[in-house]
Amino acid sequence: RPIDEIVQARHLLEQKNEELEQFASIAAHDLKEPLRMVGNFMSLLKAKHSSQLDSTALKYVDFAINGSQRMSQLINDLLDYAKVGSEQVPFDSIDPEPMLLDILSLNDSLITEKGVKISWSNLPNFRGQQTAIKLLFQNLIMNGIKYQEPDNAPVIHITGKELADCWLFSVEDNGIGIPAQYHEKIFQVFSRLHSKDKYGGTGMGLATCKKIVTIHGGRIWVESKEGEGSCFHFTISKSV
Ligand code: ADP
């Protein structure tokens, strides 16, 4: 029957997807160590032997250091993406406040350096996968801090409320904003619209957020105008 074929095809696809994600995760792990060596030895060369290098050689060393840092970020982001949903993780009760405080303390020096103001009000407890939800908040908050005009102090406000069948959270920033034609596209893997050289980034963060939200039976979207900040909303279903 056609319906059986569809079920079978879907099962096969899910299996292939899982294999691919496992492959990505193993490959990314194995890439990390040699890359760390390149970065560390290049930094050592610069720190201890720069007097023996001319300005061109020093420029090449800097290129290699920057390149290995970018690649390391990409591997970490790929690993995050692959890890989400790759195993059955239990759903726990989550109190968002200590989770947010933890995110702030992990990024303490950046927050102080950029003069970030971050606040939240009346966040409800909800159910979800602790590690994935923390990554979701962290990605949205860090984007709000990153996508800013150079001299603007980032202001981030987080709200949340319980609805009949889900919880709804929003992370709002006062940054550079996103033109309407990119509002859907930015959630695809490797999708970026602002200059890599100016802002850094790999284009994986929001794709990972979308994957996390989907696992939680929810939806993620953005409201934003260029130059007027952005507000990312996501829902977490009560019935997953
Ligand atoms: P990246 O690693 O490049 O930050 P993301 O997947 O997190 O990747 O975001 C995709 C793109 O969406 C970014 O490159 C940026 O152009 C845009 N973007 C994401 N968050 C924001 C934000 N808060 N304000 C403005 N632009 C954003």
Cβ-proximal residues to 173 (8 Å cutoff; 6+ apart), any chain = 143, 144, 145, 147, 148, 154, 155, 156, 229, 230, 231
What ipTM score was computed for the predicted complex, to two decimals? 0.98
CA separation for the pair 78, 70 (Å, rounded): 12
DSSP lists the bridge partners of residue 236 as 167
Ligand 1 pocket, mutate which of 149, 192, 208, 226 (most atoms under 8 A from CB): 192
Percentage of the chain lying above the pLDDT 70 cut:
100
Ligand 1 pocket, mutate which of 69, 79, 147, 187 (most atoms under 8 A from CB): 147
Closest Cα to residue 171, out of 131, 121, 216, 128?
Answer: 121
Report the chain's C-alpha Rg in angstroms. Answer: 21
What is the number of the ligand 1 atom nearest to the C-alpha of 139?
7
Residues 20-44: tens digit of each pLDDT: 777 877 887 888 889 999 999 999 9
Cβ-proximal residues to 6 (8 Å cutoff; 6+ apart), any chain = none
Q: Is the CB of 236 under 6 A from ligand 1?
A: no
Query: DSSP of 111-170, one letter per residue?
Result: HHHHT-EEEEE-PPPEEE-HHHHHHHHHHHHHHHHHSS-TTPPPEEEEEEEE-SSEEEEE
Q: What is the mean pLDDT of the chain?
A: 93
Q: Residue 126 C-alpha to ligand 1 middle, in angstroms?
A: 26
Q: Residue 1 C-alpha to ligand 1 middle, in angstroms?
A: 44
Confidence of residue 85 (pLDDT cuts 50, 70, 90): confident
The yes-or-no verdict on residue 92 having pLDDT over 80 is yes
Token pair, residue 8, equals 């079978």
Phi and psi at 207, nearest 5°, equal: -65, -40
The yes-or-no verdict on residue 1 having pLDDT over 90 is no
Confidence of residue 154 (pLDDT cuts 50, 70, 90): very high
CA separation for the pair 27, 72 (Å, rounded): 13
What pLDDT does residue 152 have?
93
Percentage of the chain lying above the pLDDT 90 cut:
72
